[in-house]
């Protein structure tokens, strides 16, 4: 009998009010039932909101350095449970253990960084334009934050959202992807052990169209942070705009790796293999376009096909596995549909099929797939697939490559392989992305740097780094006039000389 898991509301593990649950199964082995998780309702959410509002009143008055101390303890506890959590994440998400260990390490790094920021929530003290008047600002918390997270980084992305929100003094309600609820449950258990006060962190499981939508629409949740598809993000944006909510969106990508004719080809080859097929291509930062200069196109393509066909598919906990499954059947069906589109727009040179045998029949596996002769502006060159499918595009000079990179509606990550410093700095300046790497693949994020994109990848806010702390706090400006008389700033200064 599978375990029935619970929500975490007001410091207690509680069953859903409806008594309904959904299954969580291993995408590499569908016969492996991980557990049953609450199919929560609006009644459960209302309970969580009441708890979060109560927890906020205590937590907001806790000194920020003390809030940071709790997050530092969370980092310590995550470190002791690193391998356990990584294995659980691989079981329910599918990517290799090497990758989920990195996922957990990113959460640890984020915890320690957030702990330090508890002593660095700086405001500003500035000179007033009037005599005997003091002027300053400080940052203060907002309230209850609704956090909706995806399946592909089931530990890291929840920490990107949760830890800065907590250090800033907010309470949170988190709804993890229904495909990866267990990893977030383990994270909340760590927060509970670290001593987070009751009501400050609340975990509400459920389906996106049900509990996710309810979080976005709830009038007592003023802050929403969402990572997921651009289509769903657009709907959330409309709701939050109408309700005047603060909103952070991190959405799709169609990232390009550009390889110039002066590039170190061995390095570029390793970069595209990792960028395109790591996490089975299920990353918003995945390398889904490979732009090759005319002079090295055929040579690097031949080497890429040879290496990619040797990638081993399988369960991420098994030795020697390079590529795990897709997250569910709908995702695999979408990849199959794009393979058919690719056959009309280019040349299929590798993969394109569902593999069988060797323990693969019980999971949602798909072969690493490469198309050549893809034209800029085509569907394969512009639409996000979110799977192990790479489109190869030929170009003749850097100007053309930058144009191809910029023509898509997304703008998350980009990559340029070159030995030329001038080309590198041109890429930094002219490539229309939130992130540009030189001589590294399109993926990867460091906890102390902002992460996010432009255009339809997001709405201008960033996760990670120092900028996210501005999203989860408000600026309060304070004046103290000790002149003993009425002063009217610009009115009194109207006739004053500027010298």
- Residues with a known catalytic role: 250, 284
CB 262 within 8 A of CB 419: yes
CA gap 202, 406 in Å, rounded:
40
Which ranges of 398-441 would DSSP assign to H, the alpha helix? 398-406, 421-430
CA gap 252, 284 in Å, rounded:
5
Burial class (CB in 10 A: 0-12, 13-18, 19+), 33: middle
DSSP 3-state percent helix, strand, coil across the chain (nearest 5): 40, 20, 40
**Could you write out the DSSP letters of every residue in 257-303?**
EEE-TTS-HHHHHHHHHHHHHGGGG-STT-EEEEEEETTTHHHHHHH
- What are phi and psi for residue 370, nearest 5 degrees? -130, 130
CB 259 within 8 A of CB 268: yes
CA gap 41, 17 in Å, rounded:
7
Buried b (16+ CB within 10 A) or exposed e, 136-164: eeebebbbbbbbbbbbbbbbbbbbbbbbb
CB 39 within 8 A of CB 18: yes
CB 347 within 8 A of CB 372: yes
Ramachandran category for residue 145: left, alpha or beta (phi over 0 → left; psi -120 to 50 → alpha): beta
CB 277 within 8 A of CB 368: yes
Report strand pairing: 223-227 vs 246-250: parallel
CB 194 within 8 A of CB 73: yes
β-strand partners of 36: 4, 23
3-state secondary structure (DSSP) of residue 115: helix
């Amino acid at each position: 009998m599978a375990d029935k898991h619970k929500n975490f509301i007001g410091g207690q593990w509680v069953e859903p009010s409806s008594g309904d649950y959904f299954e969580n199964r291993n995408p590499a082995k569908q016969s492996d039932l991980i557990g049953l998780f609450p199919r929560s309702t609006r009644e459960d959410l209302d309970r969580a909101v009441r708890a979060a509002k109560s927890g906020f009143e205590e937590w907001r008055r806790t000194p920020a350095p003390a809030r940071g101390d709790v997050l530092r303890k969370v980092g310590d506890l995550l470190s002791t449970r690193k391998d356990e959590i990584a294995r659980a994440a691989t079981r329910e998400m599918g990517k290799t253990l090497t990758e989920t260990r990195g996922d957990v390490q990113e959460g640890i790094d984020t915890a320690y960084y957030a702990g330090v920021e508890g002593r660095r929530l700086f405001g500003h003290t500035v000179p007033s334009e009037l005599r005997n008047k003091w002027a300053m600002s400080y940052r203060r918390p907002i309230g209850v934050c609704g956090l909706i997270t995806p399946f592909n980084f089931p530990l890291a992305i929840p920490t990107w959202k949760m830890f800065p929100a907590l250090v800033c003094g907010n309470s949170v309600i988190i709804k993890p992807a229904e495909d990866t609820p267990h990893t977030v449950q383990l994270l909340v258990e760590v927060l509970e052990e670290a001593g987070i006060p009751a009501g400050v962190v609340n975990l509400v499981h459920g389906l996106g169209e049900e509990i996710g939508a309810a979080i976005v629409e709830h009038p007592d949740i003023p802050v929403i942070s969402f990572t997921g598809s651009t289509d769903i993000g657009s709907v959330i944006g409309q709701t939050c705009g109408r309700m005047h909510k603060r909103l952070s969106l991190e959405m799709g990508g169609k990232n390009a790796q550009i390889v110039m004719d002066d590039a170190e080809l061995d390095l570029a080859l390793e970069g595209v293999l990792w960028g395109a097929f790591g996490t089975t291509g299920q990353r918003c930062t995945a390398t889904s376009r490979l732009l090759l200069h005319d002079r090295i196109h055929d040579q690097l393509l031949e080497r890429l096909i040879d290496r990619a066909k040797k990638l081993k598919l399988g369960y991420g906990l098994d030795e020697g596995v390079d590529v795990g499954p897709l997250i569910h059947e709908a995702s695999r069906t979408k990849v199959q549909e794009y393979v058919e589109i690719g056959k009309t727009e280019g040349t299929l040179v590798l993969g394109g099929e569902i593999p069988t045998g060797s323990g693969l029949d019980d999971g949602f596996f798909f072969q690493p797939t490469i198309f050549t002769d893809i034209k800029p502006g085509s569907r394969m060159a512009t639409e996000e697939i979110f799977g192990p499918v790479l489109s190869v595009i030929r170009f003749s000079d850097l100007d053309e490559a930058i144009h191809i990179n910029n023509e898509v509606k997304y703008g998350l990550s980009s990559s340029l392989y070159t030995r030329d410093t001038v080309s590198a700095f041109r890429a930094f300046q002219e490539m229309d992305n939130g992130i540009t790497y030189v001589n590294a693949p399109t993926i990867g994020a460091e906890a102390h740097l902002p992460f996010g994109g432009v255009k339809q990848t997001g709405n201008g806010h960033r996760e990670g780094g120092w900028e996210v702390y501005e999203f989860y706090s408000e600026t309060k400006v304070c004046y103290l006039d000790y002149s003993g008389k009425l002063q009217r700033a610009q009115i009194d200064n109207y006739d004053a000389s500027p010298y």
